[in-house]
Amino acid sequence: MPRIAEAKPTEFKLYAPGAKKVVVAGSFNKWDTKKLLAKKDSKGSWAAKVALKPGRHEYKFIVDGNWINDPRCTSCVANSLGSHNCVVEVK
């Protein structure tokens, strides 16, 4: 019987010390603008963890209502809105 690939904890981090609210939206949560809320640490970094199944997932950060790409992301793809989405590969 083939093994079902298990979801792996994946962390999204963003340094945004002046932000009031940071959310991670992506293909893994149907681009929900409220579901995956990041938590801010004392140094101004925001982090959110989610279990993702192996594969390719697209995502963006929403910082105080503005959609932005992850500055640490090295892989982006064009989206239907004329901008780009970040890509994370889960092994």
pLDDT per residue as tens digits for the range 23-80: 999 999 999 999 999 999 999 999 999 999 999 999 999 999 999 999 999 999 999 9
In sequence order, what are the residues at sequence separation of 6 or more whose Cβ sits closer than 8 angstroms to the Cβ of residue 7? 51, 52, 53
pLDDT at 1: 58
State mean pLDDT over 81-91. Answer: 96
Residue 2, CA distances (Å) to 5, 7, 53, 74 in order: 9, 16, 16, 32
d(CA 23, CA 18): 14
Alpha-carbon radius of gyration of the chain: 14
Report whether 70 contacts 12 (CB < 8 A): yes
User: What pLDDT, on a 0 to 100 scale, did the predictor assign at position 21?
Assistant: 98
Sorted by where each begins, the domain ranges of the chain are 8-90
pLDDT at 90: 96
* Homologous superfamily of domain range 8-90: Immunoglobulins (2.60.40.10)
CB 9 within 8 A of CB 51: yes
